[in-house]
Chains A and B, each alone.
Chain A
Amino acid sequence: MTADARTGMHAQGSAGDHTPDDLVLSVENLAVSYGSAAGRRRAVDDLTFGVRRAETYGLVGESGSGKSSTAFAILGLIKPPGRIDEGRIRLEGMDLVGLKPDEWRPIRWRRVSLVPQGAMNALNPVMRVGEQIGDAIEAHDGRQDPAALRERIVGLLDSVGLPDRVVRAYPHELSGGMKQRACIAMAIALEPALIIADEPTSALDVVVQRAVAETLMEVKRNLGASVILIGHDLALQAQLVDRLGVMYRGRLVETGPSRELFHRPQHPYTELLIRSVPSIRGGDDDSLTGAARRARELAAAADELARTGIPPLRLVGPDHLVALP
């Protein structure tokens, strides 16, 4: 099996014009485990996927399915008792597994950055927003001329739709949506090739969620960066991502172009996960009992997967892989 096929970049159909060089990130056979007194437990197991340049890749799954562990592995943040057991992670052709702390220096934030979960606590309450963004810039680019630095920060804030005055504002003076925008500004401060957004909108209300997500996408387009959008909000993912990966128990159950996955899911688990999203227009059965039934079905499908195990992915369409026997 070539690396090409394993990362789901099979040169076939519409995906034919993509070469492996298009990959900003490739994750191959990644396995992450955490140790405890009771033994080691795999959080990510034989995970293989790739993210193309300027692409938005969605990772969805239940809590504990290994989404955040995957993100942490890419950022080099798996610390004991956790460890990367095997696999490769390549960012723009550079191997990330096993890098030493100072080798991470030129990579983190400059080439891969994070928009954290719950922006409420991601900003220091006693520092002005501008100072915090400035610190991140100066940590990489060294001392800056104050006027130029300020201009750069204002530019960053402007690109996420925040007014100049936010430079001098303390976090408590901002709304939740503004804080999350400030976090996006911080994440793009060094123009990384890859932005990992770990449930960036989970702490916001629905209307603000949408605006913040659109800001993230706009910023991404302007930078030409790729985004890994982690979350369990399928409705949001459906609108934003180019390709989607569905995770369960540390493995991919199905991955493919999001349109195809939403319209023609191949795996029963994917199908149930998508059907469990309530629709405002009303689906075949939108009553509470219907929702409860679907939740039960999803749980049953999950149990079934846990019992039978997840087979390796196989190709079922252009770019579309599914873990079915």
Chain B
Amino acid sequence: MDAPLVAGPETVQRAAAARRRRPVWLTGSFVLGLILLFWPLVAALTIGLVVDPRGLRIGAAPVGSAPSALHPFGSDNAGRDLLTLLAVGTPPTYVIGFVAGFLATAFGTIIGLISGYARGATDTVLRGIIDVTLGIPALAVAIIVTALLGSISTGQLALIIAVLIWAFPARQIRSQVLSLREQQYVFISRLSNQGSLSIVFRELLPNLLPFVMASLVASISFAILLAVGLQLLSLGSSDPTLGLVLQLAITGGALSRGMWWWWLPPALVLISIFIGLFLLSTAVDRLANPRLREKADDG
């Protein structure tokens, strides 16, 4: 009752001061994106510390039971405890997504920068490779490769995915470089004898950071999607991952049998990861754009 209805001048000033101290890129969508992206990982790692790994064994719980006090996420039709399965299966999904996404973006960015800046014969060759790689349907090749290799580790799966998806960031970065390299400041740098490497990495790359970040986020999403897709087909990594849980749920007929506790939690976790990645990609634009960054770093 005593609380003032209207914020007094002091409150307003304090809020303004807080806004000034806060870096500009630290926006709601950045924080929300981070939370949505990483809460499943933090939760899985925390729960992983306390659950009994024997819950993964067949018959550790009553077969196909709905959530209960003893098994809060229920169990699947082989009696595996689903909470344990989620806790163990979530981190490898992140590993695949981040490793494949980082590798593909780093490689693709370097190839795109070289291809776009060098032009000429170098560009023709690199562009040819990029275009051919883009033309290969990633999922189809992934299916064949993983089927041939049989059981592979999470790391190997990440590597295969990176090889299949690097061309997307490469193509994106290349087209940005083609337009950026004609900017007058690049012309001036060339004129003042700066080396190509210095121009590409000091002048061009910082301008491309928003695109690199967006590519990274897209690559991570795509890598996770591809990994989940492969596992739905019983291919790829044999380590338990979110994809494996979904595969078990589908083959076990969870949808038709109304066992929502089996498929819904891994689906929600994946949705949360994807939305988190999307929000982050919009927020990193501010990080890379000095016009928005303003004086965040000079105080």
Contact = CB atoms under 8 A, between A and B. Distances in A.
Do A and B make up one complex? yes
Interface of A: 75, 77, 104-105, 108-109, 113-114, 116, 118, 121-127, 132, 135-136, 139-140, 168, 170, 172, 183, 186
Contacts, number: 69
Given A75-B191, A170-B290, A116 B184 contact: yes
Interface stretch (B55-63, B201-209, B239-247, B264-272): B201-209
Nearest to A102: B193
Nearest to B205: A126
12 contacts: A105-B193, A109-B191, A122-B185, A125-B290, A127-B202, A127-B206, A135-B198, A136-B192, A139-B194, A139-B198, A168-B298, A170-B291
A172 B290 contact: yes
A124 B203 contact: yes
B148 interface: no
B206 A121 contact: no
Contacts of A123: 185
A135 B184 contact: no
A132 B185 contact: yes
Interface string B17-61: 000000000000000000000000000000000000000000000
B189 interface: yes
Top 5 A-B residue pairs of the complex, sorted by shortest distance between their CB atoms: A136-B192, A121-B184, A126-B206, A124-B185, A109-B192
Counting chain B CB atoms within 10 Å of each CB, the highest count among A105, A125, A126 belongs to A126
B164 to A, nearest CB: 32
A104 B191 CA distance: 10
Contacts of B184: 116, 118, 121-122
A109 B187 contact: no
B183 A121 contact: yes
Nearest to B209: A126
Nearest to A117: B184
Contacts of A108: 191-193
Contacts of B198: 135, 139
Contacts of A135: 189, 192, 194, 198, 202
Contacts of A113: 191-192
B207 A124 contact: yes
A114 B191 CA distance: 8
